[in-house]
Amino acid sequence: MTSLAGGSVAPHLRVLRLVGFCRLRAPAGRAAPGLARRLHGLYCWFALAATSFYVLQQGIYAYQERHDMVKLSRVLFVLLCHCTCISKQVVFHAHAPQIDALIRSLDQPLFNQGGAAREALLRRAAARAARVLRAYYGCGIATCVLWTAFPVIYRLQGHYVEMPFWTFIDYRKAFMFVVVVSHSFYATNLVAVGNTTMDAFIATVLYQCQTQLRILRLNFESLPERARIASKELSKGDYEATLNKLLLECILHFQKIADTMELLQRVFGLAVLVQFTVGGWILCMAAYKIVSVDILSFEFASTTLFIVCILTELFLYCYYGNEVTVESDRVVESIYSMEWLHAPLRFKKSLVLMMERAKRPLRPAAGRVIPLSLDTFVTILKSSYSFYAVLRQTK
């Protein structure tokens, strides 16, 4: 049975396995059917090959049209986005055991504590993560549908359509045009669904860490009260022993959160760093392209949705990373807010040590270099506009 915390990433895993971006995981306690796992593994390699081949086609086209800035802008922002997708896709292949460990960490008892308030926080986190996922990949699919509709409608009007990627097929004939458009539709939708879901998966783990920190703060603030209630329920209740036991659980909970954050950064840190490094250029090239198209065209609508997707991608990382840091900073306040004045001296000494540890907050960073914060998001937007202004001046 999936836990409340682990259930928050369950929709993401279903989608990623459906598109072949994440391998099947053996159910707890028994091995998955060998044939099913092998076949799905081959499907995952096929998905990686399909996205890589499409990026190669775009790269060749970009090289051929390197002197035409208008045509180059048509392909470059999509090419860069697909490159970031492949970097994350490779991570899911190369670090599959670590990702399985990350998923299992969300199912541990400390991350799924009982109590109405705690369960409400976990259910709200899972529901919000599912809504964000649906809205995010839905926007990506809508973008790809519009990208496909534009050349089809243009072709039906009797115009010649030049696809923004290299192909050895002459698609001036109707049948071959359908083949090329179908190939483009599959590849772009594969990347759109897979890339947005991978981003939402990483953001959801960050959101879970934030939720766990809120639960931890709640546990610290109510610790003496919970110890009194627990000691009264025991026939030979020892208040001090119960108090120290609950404190130890809080310390272990904090360490589990820190371990989950460390594993997340170790697995996805480099891929997210690539995303942030080229994110400004993606927005810049998309903005350069959108100013040259008709505002009432399918191309304008699709490019606008694409920009919304990229902004959402960067914002999810920065927002939830910032929230983890904020909640981590508040742990010390929650420790100090508990009723510690009348607690035993030994317990007070333990609290001092815990407060010293909590003074070093959890600060998520892309590749341990770029902090995931709202300040970083604003900096990327400013950089994108600077790149765009330079390109407009050199046009």
pLDDT digits (tens, 9 = 90+) for 87-125: 999 999 999 999 999 999 999 999 998 888 999 999 999
Mean pLDDT over residues 136-146, rounded? 92
HEC letters along 179-210: HHHHHHHHHHHHHHHHHHHHHHHHHHHHHHHH
pLDDT of residue 71: 85
Mean pLDDT over residues 350-361, rounded? 87
Check residue 167 and give left, alpha or beta (phi > 0: left; psi -120 to 50: alpha): beta
pLDDT of residue 394: 67
Chain mean pLDDT for the chain: 89
More confident residue, 207 or 33: 207
End-to-end CA distance of the chain: 59
pLDDT at 386 exceeding the cut of 60: yes
pLDDT of residue 228: 86
* Residue 52 pLDDT class (50, 70, 90 cuts): very high
Mean pLDDT over residues 295-319, rounded? 89
pLDDT at 268 exceeding the cut of 60: yes
* Residue 235 pLDDT class (50, 70, 90 cuts): low
pLDDT of residue 119: 92
Mean pLDDT over residues 175-183, rounded? 93
pLDDT of residue 28: 53
More confident residue, 82 or 288: 82
* In 19-167, alpha helices (H): 34-64, 69-94, 96-105, 116-156
pLDDT of residue 189: 94
- Three-state secondary-structure class, residue 30: coil
* Residue 276 pLDDT class (50, 70, 90 cuts): very high
pLDDT of residue 294: 81
- Give the C-alpha separation, 350 to 364, whole Å: 27
Tokens of 31: 């091995």
- Give the C-alpha separation, 29 to 16, whole Å: 23
Least confident of 70-84, 290-304, 324-338: 290-304
Please state, in angstroms and as integers, the Cα–Cα distance from residue 364 to each residue in 32, 137, 158, 272, following that order. Answer: 34, 24, 52, 11
Asked if 177 and 292 touch (Cβ cutoff 8 Å), the reply is no
pLDDT at 29 exceeding the cut of 70: no
Q: What percent of the chain has pLDDT over 70?
A: 96
* Residue 236 pLDDT class (50, 70, 90 cuts): low
What residues does 365 pair with on adjacent strands? 371
pLDDT of residue 221: 92
359 φ, ψ (degrees, to nearest 5) = -70, -15
- Give the C-alpha separation, 392 to 395, whole Å: 5
pLDDT of residue 209: 95
Count up the domains in the chain and report the number.
Answer: 1
pLDDT at 395 exceeding the cut of 80: no
pLDDT at 348 exceeding the cut of 70: yes
* Residue 234 pLDDT class (50, 70, 90 cuts): low
Residues 6+ apart with CB under 8 A from 129: 8, 9, 11, 12, 200, 203, 204, 207
- Give the C-alpha separation, 334 to 222, whole Å: 9
pLDDT of residue 13: 94
Asked if 279 and 310 touch (Cβ cutoff 8 Å), the reply is yes
Q: What percent of the chain has pLDDT over 90?
A: 58
Asked if 199 and 12 touch (Cβ cutoff 8 Å), the reply is no
pLDDT at 79 exceeding the cut of 70: yes
Mean pLDDT over residues 4-30, rounded? 84
pLDDT at 17 exceeding the cut of 90: yes
What residues does 370 pair with on adjacent strands? 366
Mean pLDDT over residues 236-245, rounded? 81
pLDDT of residue 285: 85
Domain span at 208 = 4-393
pLDDT of residue 207: 96
Tokens of 36: 């099913």
Closest CA to 323 of 289, 362, 352: 362
pLDDT of residue 263: 95
* Residue 46 pLDDT class (50, 70, 90 cuts): very high
Tokens of 289: 């392209």
